[in-house]
Amino acid sequence: MPRRRALPLWTLLVPLQLALVPSPLAGCLLSPCLEVIPNTTFRCTELNTSGVPAGVPNTTQNLDLSFSNLKSLRSNYFSSVPELQLLDLSRCHIHTIEDNAFKDLHRLSTLILTANSFHYLGTAAFYGLAALKKLVLVETNITSVTDLPIGHLHTLQELNLGHNSITSLKLPKYFTNLTSLRHLSFFSNKITYISKGDLDALREGNRLNLTLVLSLNNIKSIEPGSFAKIHLGELVLRSSFENFSVMHTSLQGLAGLQVKRLIAGEFRNNYRLSDFQRGLLSGLCQVQMQEFVLICFKKFESNTDTLFDCIGNVSTIRLVNLGLEEISEVPVSSQVKQLECKNCDFEEVPALKLSHFKELRVLRITKSTSLRNFRQKFRDLSKLEVVDLSENRLAFSGCCSHLFRNCSNLKHLNLSFNADIRLTGDFADIKNLLYLDLQHTKLFGPGSYPVFLFLQELIYLDISYTKTHVKSQCTFCGLNSLQVLKMSGNSFENNRLTNNFKNLTHLHTLDISSCMLVQVNQNTFDALSELKELNISNNKLLTLDPGVYQPLQALRVLDFSNNQLTVLLDSALETLPDSLVLLDISQNLFDCSCAHLNFLKWVKEKQELLQNKELMICHMPADMKNVSLSSFDLSSCHLSASKVAVTVVMLLSAVVLLLLIYNYYVQLYYSLVLLSGCKHSAERGNTYDAFVIHSSKDQEWVIKELVEPLEGGTPPFHLCLSCRDFLPGVPIVTNIIEEGFLSSRNVIAVISTNFLESKWCSFEFDIAQSWQLVEGKAGIIMIVLEEVNKALLRQRLGLSRYLRRNTYLEWKNKEMSKHIFLRQLTGVLIEGKDWNNEKEKLK
């Protein structure tokens, strides 16, 4: 084998390199701080030293020191980082905060102290925090708010005291100072009694919009009068009471409260009370509220419950995750304007009872898996405007007029994501409908009969994926005001558009993607002179016929991707309207022969108009297959005699070269790498963060464990994988060198048994090593999968695992190890990342 004869250049350089390395395994140690966003955001977790790490510059705005071992915060502890806006000190074993610890942080707006067990807080501990908006004291072993030294934090908007052992809701006098407070959470504490006077501090001043969270406490009683004359934005009482009778009597104690939204109920994973019993909410008769939300009760006494007794005059009611099988008795002259039931247990749309809500304007019953029938009729809801019955399992026929008697104000009807619905075409009683959404529900009727004839006012119709087969030319007759028609994922007779849209003169958006279309007849779009957006992608159209698209003179967006176009003829290019700002003709079967030079030129000129250019690829002729249209070389179409001669000579040289290559396999590659490396390194940008060398058998692992977390994380990294990023048509060796090594800052080698067995992988790895030594770039990151034979590994990887620049990581298939692995990997990759470039891309 020629391989044997090669003198591996890098073996000469290794001892030299080694001599310069102080500690052979230094590469394994990671710097304590991760620069998440240059100069402003740093993550320095799990430190074992006190103080702000020296590497954090004074420009830092966000600093995460969580899981460090800080113990005690002295005065002016953070003086080196005066620009901080967010400081995370979660789980830092802090027991003491001395006076003026945060003194220099005039701009700090968020301070997180979660899970530190305080023994001592100086009375001036929080002095200097002149802009603090959010203070998180979750799980800090606080038993009382009385002595919390926060009375001077006038700017505080959110105070989170969750998961502590606070036993009393008595708010000290200093709360009157906290006039900006909007959110006060006592989530999961030990409050048992609420007494008159506890909330006095909220009564003073004009507080408008405070959210008070008392969920997961163990309230045994609320003394009547405790909430009298209190105004709140929101009061949350989920799993706050031990049993039914305690909840019943405690709610009586809310008398006199004025609140915009009251949320009561349980948590799905934490039911204390699962049954809703008679009279539970009777205390709410004395509460003034605009919105009431009831969450998570499993059982309701059927039909005897008194759910609406005291909330019948609330403007908005939301019922979520309730085992409600029937609608409870509705009080006469109820004032409810908006009613929502999400994930309730109805089997039938309870239209009869709901019709007693005479003031109802918005009704939503969604995500109820047992809801199948719609037989009862809504009657005389003259104010009803919105009915949303989406995402249930409804199957019924006779839609829709007779189900809505005398509901003439109905404007939105959403029946999408249901099972199946038969439309009769009778919309006479609801002919003022503006929006009708039936997507993803199997429909009977449309396509065969002109079922929309009555809907002369309708402006929005969605019948996407409804298994509609358009046979009748009058399918959309009557929709004279229609502006948006979405009907992707359906079909047309003979897979052909004929005169289907003749009267839709106001249409501005038409989606007929994925309709299996093979042809569009002349005159189809004649009436659509106002159309702005046409999506005809994912069909099987062979041509963009100028005559057909001529009438679309207002078109701005045309999506013609994923069809079978070979070319746009000159006549088609001329008819494209000037108004067009976005044209997608990607994923078609383009013919790049020189006969279509005009089209190819046009593609080059219209780069701004064209979308998804990287997916515009030659399909023909065979030698051009898979070449990207935008990188197509126009000059190749002007061949002269001399060039032919040159080509012949070049071909001959190529043959000679190939012979040579065959003989001097590795030497040649290395010199090629080294030479081209030196030549290009200056001009090439680093397009990728890393080039991944791996065995094709590990493809799945690479995608799941590397590509997905790294490319999807923050910051996102760009990886170069041979199967994905290599330019098609370019010889593979050139690709490895130019697209792989020269365009990437790092090389990641995924070392597995498959890798060690593959000759190709060893070859790539050898090139990577010599490239690294010559270019002097960052290193090779070796990821060793757990099942590898260690002896074999040592032999194969040779000395390179001891190089200073290289990083050697082992991967184990455990959640915790994966997490650490990924942190180390991102830590290595983030060094030297080109942020300017990154910002450009994000814009």
Question: Which residues sit at the interface with ligand NAG, rule CB under 6 A?
Answer: 38-39, 48, 58, 69, 82, 117, 141, 151-152, 174, 177, 182-183, 209, 211, 220, 233, 242-243, 245-246, 285, 310, 312-313, 333, 335, 380, 382, 390-391, 405-406, 414, 416-417, 435, 437, 477-478, 480, 488, 503, 513-514, 535, 537-538, 557, 559, 835
Q: Which is nearer to ligand NAG, 25 or 660 (CB)?
A: 25
At 780, which amino acid appears? I
* Residue (386 or 620) nearer to ligand NAG, CB: 386
User: What 3-state class would DSSP assign to 71?
Assistant: coil
The CA distance from 717 to 477, in Å, is 52
Tokens 């100069």 belong to which residue? 39
* Smallest distance from ligand NAG to CB 332, Å: 8
Closer CB to ligand NAG, 313 or 699, in the complex:
313
CB contact at 8 A, 458 and 436: yes
Residue 765 C-beta: closest distance to ligand NAG, Å: 34
Place of tokens 């990577």: 768
Question: Could you please report the per-residue DSSP string of 284-315?
Answer: GGG-EEEEEEEEEE-EE-TTT--TTTTTTT-S
146, two tokens: 């009385």
Distance CA 230, CA 199 (A): 8
Q: Which is nearer to ligand NAG, 49 or 813 (CB)?
A: 49
Q: Give the residues across from 352 on adjacent strands.
A: none
Q: Between 514 and 769, name the residue whose CB sits nearer to ligand NAG.
A: 514
- Please give the single-letter amino acid code of residue 835: W
Tell me whether the omega of the peptide bond preceding residue 400 falls within 30 degrees of 0, making it cis.
yes
Residue nearest to ligand NAG (CB): 151
Nearest approach in angstroms of CB 58 to ligand NAG is 4
The tokens describing 639, both together, are: 């061949």
Using CA atoms, how far apart are residues 82 and 61, in angstroms rounded to an integer?
8
Distance of CA 126 to the CA centre of its chain: 36
Closest approach of ligand NAG to the CB of residue 546, in Å: 21
* Distance (Å, whole) CA 540 – CA 544: 11
Shortest Å, Cβ 165 to ligand NAG: 8
Residue closer to ligand NAG (CB basis): 316 or 503: 503
CB-wise, 3 or 190, nearer to ligand NAG? 190
- Fill in the DSSP letter of residue 672: H
Strands 582-584 and 491-492: unpaired
Cα–Cα distances (Å) from 142 to 121, 719, 816, in that order, read: 11, 47, 31
Q: β-strands 41-43, 34-37: how paired?
A: antiparallel
The secondary structure of 193-219 as a DSSP string is: EE-TTTTHHHHSS-----EEE-TT--B
| Interatomic CA distance for residues 628 and 623, integer angstroms | 12
Q: Which is nearer to ligand NAG, 267 or 835 (CB)?
A: 835
Between 183 and 442, name the residue whose CB sits nearer to ligand NAG. 183
Q: C-beta of 388: minimal distance to ligand NAG in Å?
A: 6
Residue number, 112 or 148, with CB nearest to ligand NAG: 148
- 363, β-bridge pairs: 339, 387
Give exposure, 482-513, as e/b (b: 16+ Cβ within 10 Å): bbbbbbbbbbbeeeebbebbbebebbbbbbbb
